[in-house]
Amino acid sequence: MTDYIRHQPDPKLDLVLERTVDIPPHEIFAAWTRPELITQWFTPAPWTTIDAEVDLRPGGIFRTVMRSPEGEEFPGTGCVLEVVENRKFVWTGALQPGFRPRTAEGPQADHAPFVFTGLISLEPHGTGTKYTAIAIHGDEEGCAKHSAMGFHAGWGAALDQLVAMVKARTGGEAVTA
């Protein structure tokens, strides 16, 4: 029995990226939860993540600022929902920090064509990790927009960058399975 709730993806509403990578869960968890690491891998190149903030508790902030190759900045602020150290990290853009509902206006309104909840699940797999990222959407339209923007390619490239960053920090080679 696990110590956290599992989400059963709905293929009409959720996008799932699942891979096995050859780095341990604690390294992936750190990469997702430490701002100084998030800015090194979070956005697929040539985009960059120029700032990040994480308050690792339910109700805490999960914020990133992405920059396009043209220099346009895209802030994203959400609310941490669940944290299980080295196993699970869940946040949502539907809520602001402190569980405050997002409003239709505000600095993110123009940059948020859809709202989703992000769930990162990490399961030990030999010396590596079974990595599952799920983008949970409230409607089929939002899910379709996220898919059309390149969810699988983008989140897959970001995962490759995460693995490469960890391997560079730990002296190993970046290899995914």
CATH code, domain carrying 42: 3.30.530.20
* Residue 94 structural domain: 14-170
> Which tens digits make up the pLDDT trace of 50-78?
999 999 999 999 999 999 999 999 999 99
In a domain, 76, yes or no: yes
In a domain, 2, yes or no: no
Residue 93 has pLDDT above 50, yes or no: yes
Structure confidence at residue 83 as a pLDDT band (50, 70, 90): very high
In a domain, 112, yes or no: yes
CA dist 41 to 16, 83, 97, 155, 176, Å? 19, 20, 23, 11, 15
In a domain, 85, yes or no: yes
**Close Cβ partners of 5 (under 8 Å, ≥ 6 residues apart):** 82
Q: N- to C-terminal Cα distance for the chain?
A: 27
Q: How many domains does the chain have?
A: 1
In a domain, 8, yes or no: no
Structure confidence at residue 157 as a pLDDT band (50, 70, 90): very high
In a domain, 66, yes or no: yes
In a domain, 5, yes or no: no
3-class SS of residue 6 = coil
